Amino acid sequence: MIGILRSLTQVVRVIGRKPVTIQYPEVHREIPNRDRAFPILLWDAPIDEPYCTGCHACERACPVECMTVVMKDNPKHATGESKRRKIIDEFWIDYGRCMRCNICVEVCNFEAIGMNNTWAGHELSRYDRKELVMDLDMLMSQSKAGKVDPGLRA
Amino acid sequence: MVTEQHDRSLEVVDIPINMGPQHPSTHGVFRMVLVLDGEVCKDVIPHIGYMHRGGEKLMEAMDFRQGIGYCDRTEYLAQFSAELGYVMAVERLMELEIPDRAEYIRVILTELNRLSSHFMFMGAFGIDAGVFATSFTYAFPQREYIQELFEEVTGDRLMYAYFRVGGLAWEVTDNFVQRVHEVLVHTRQGLRDLDELLTKNEIFMVRCQGIGAFTADQAIAYGLSGPMLRASGVPWDLRKDDPYSVYDRFTFEIPVGNHGDVYDRYLVRLEEMRQSVNIIEQALEQLPAEGPIVAEKLPRRLRTPPGEVYSKVEAPRGEWGVYLVSKGGDKPYRLKMRSPSFCNLSALREMCIGQFMADAVMILGSMDIVLCDVDR
């Protein structure tokens, strides 16, 4: 009997505490700088081109093989605007396959790929799985607009 | 007129009842067929394998860094323990020296992970025992504080991939020590709450005491480990009996139970959490303020010499072991995971026979299984 009363007093004591929950869709929790959502490509703003040279390092290191990389000659290299001989032509990442292990970021030699640390990297629900395969424009759009600064780099 | 006398005695048959794979108290996709005589279990036939993904085979095709992600996905409530077991196996093969600072951070995170895992148990076990959501709502906010700390340090909420061969993936955040202290305040409060709510509650005690009891000999014969074994009175803890990492530098006690029943398993886990808090505090004091976090001369591409190694750690559920055979190169030739959940689950039939059907739920709950860990 005493034990039951103790339990009840405990319950009454807890009622006074402040709630720890937040109303999610209206209120977004602040996410830490190191947060690892899905990988995105980064934009080299001064030269106005992506950092990525399409060297296939991330593609080879990916445990789940969710990436496809196609490289091309950099037209800006011929004109002398850029030091990069090769540049990314096509890049697909299947977000439905990616397991967010951060290995692509670690193996990248050019700091060209980073893990999205904004809410845009989390709220990605789609009606069709095909829509989760991101192409080059989608992967770069956020960094191009300056909306993201990944906390973890290679 | 005389009517014919019939034999009116009824035929009695045992009824098999299916429980799972989708059932809230099987803690995952676990199916068991209970053969019942009235309300008493005559036999229990467990069916596992719904979560089987062939993780061991998959990891044979992965190099040593890629494999870490699969350890997380196997033991998804004690990811750091799983990573530690795997990483230690590779380190032992490569004969690497791990810097002190990395070892201490590993211990702190692993013990915090034990706390978060046991909080999960406390919440779920309360539901099994019929306390409904109260224990769950007490345990989960405190677990959430730990989870937030992990997120700040590793960047992910569940699949950390933070322990690497030779050390750690990144340096911890600048305010790490202060943040751990903050989290421990909440943890202690959570422990007090749960202790007050459950431990001395007569209804809870009557519900738990005396069911699923295992003697020490039985527990050893079934190969139980972790809190299950210690509740039966065997003071076996790998952190003390076969110290790995830097566990030999801390003073802590191993709680043991007297009766080996469901209630003792609860008490052992509760005390284990207090000891974990104790270890974390000691580790925070001894943590070197500066220093490398990755072993020296670590090659960019990890290759092991040929050989085999078995490394084991004390995960929240028991002995988590990784047996690794290498024939040289950057991939394991064979990898076997010894998961505590699977070995503990093997005792379910023996424990349930002769108990009431409702108690079978409690016994399963007290094992604290992770189904990904069982099936791998």
Residues B69-120: pLDDT tens digits? 888 888 888 899 999 999 999 988 888 888 888 899 999 999 999 999 999 9
Which three-class secondary structure state does DSSP give residue B50?
A: coil
Domain boundaries, chain B: 52-375
**pLDDT band at residue A153 under the 50/70/90 scheme:** low
Residue B200 to chain A, least CA–CA distance (Å):
5
The answer on pLDDT for B5 being more than 70 is no
Q: Is the CA virtual torsion B293, B299, B300, B306 positive or negative? A: negative
Of B187 and A78, the one with more pLDDT: B187
Q: Within 13 A of B27's CA, how many CA atoms are on the CB side?
A: 27
Containing A39, the helix (H) or strand (E) segment is: strand A39-41
Alpha-carbon gap, residue B129 to B265, rounded angstroms: 13
Give the architecture-level CATH label for domain A28-144. Answer: 2-Layer Sandwich (3.30)
- Is residue B101 within 8 A of residue B294, CB to CB? The reply is no
- For tokens 């422990």, the residue is B191
Contacts B202 to A, Cβ<8 Å: 1, 3-4
CA end-to-end span of chain A, whole Å?
60
The answer on pLDDT for A149 being more than 80 is no
Mutate to test the interface with B, among A99, A107, A108, A122 (most CBs of B within 10 A): A99
**Alpha-carbon distances of A125 from A35, A38, A96, B35, B252, rounded to whole Å:** 18, 13, 10, 43, 47
Token pair for B25: 């108290």
B170 touches chain A (CB under 8 A): yes
Residue B164 to chain A, least CA–CA distance (Å):
11
Chain A residues with CB within 8 Å of chain B CB: 1-4, 6-7, 9-11, 14, 20, 31-32, 34-36, 61, 63, 99-103, 106, 115, 117, 151-152
Q: What percent of chain B stands above pLDDT 90?
A: 17
* Mean pLDDT (whole number) for B327-342: 88
Range with the poorest average pLDDT among A24-33, B29-38, B128-137, B155-164:
B128-137
Residue A126 to chain B, least CA–CA distance (Å):
22
Per-residue pLDDT reduced to its tens digit, B137-192: 888 888 999 999 998 888 888 888 888 888 888 888 888 899 999 999 999 988 98
Give the architecture-level CATH label for domain B52-375. Answer: Orthogonal Bundle (1.10)
Longest dimension (CA), chain A: 87
Q: Is B155's CB within 8 Å of A2's CB?
A: no
- Is residue B318 within 8 A of residue B232, CB to CB? The reply is no
The answer on pLDDT for B240 being more than 70 is yes
Contacts A106 to B, Cβ<8 Å: 169
* Mean pLDDT (whole number) for B248-264: 89
Q: Is A7's CB within 8 Å of B198's CB?
A: yes
Alpha-carbon gap, residue A118 to B159, rounded angstroms: 18
Alpha-carbon gap, residue B130 to A66, rounded angstroms: 44
Which are the contacts of B148, defined by CB distance < 8 A and separation ≥ 6? none
pLDDT at B108: 92
Token pair for A5: 């009363």
Q: Is A7's CB within 8 Å of B196's CB?
A: yes
Angle among Cα A70, A37, A103 to the nearest 5 degrees reads 55
| Beta-strand runs (E) in chain B | 15-19, 31-37, 40-47, 163-164, 167-168, 307-315, 318-326, 334-338
**pLDDT band at residue A53 under the 50/70/90 scheme:** confident
Q: If you measure CA to CA, which chain A residue comes closest to B159?
A: A101
Contacts A9 to B, Cβ<8 Å: 196
What average pLDDT is seen over chain A? 85
Containing B184, the helix (H) or strand (E) segment is: helix B176-194
pLDDT at B110: 92
Which are the contacts of A59, defined by CB distance < 8 A and separation ≥ 6? A65, A67, A68, A69
- Is residue B239 within 8 A of residue B247, CB to CB? The reply is yes
Alpha-carbon gap, residue A121 to A100, rounded angstroms: 11
Q: If you measure CA to CA, which chain B residue comes closest to A105?
A: B169
Closest CA to B373 of B48, B23, B31: B48
B218 touches chain A (CB under 8 A): no
**Alpha-carbon distances of B131 from B117, B186, B208, rounded to whole Å:** 19, 22, 12
Which are the contacts of A68, defined by CB distance < 8 A and separation ≥ 6? A59, A90, A91, A92
pLDDT at B114: 92
Per-residue pLDDT reduced to its tens digit, A83-116: 888 888 888 899 888 988 888 888 888 888 888 8
What average pLDDT is seen over chain B? 87
pLDDT at B4: 61
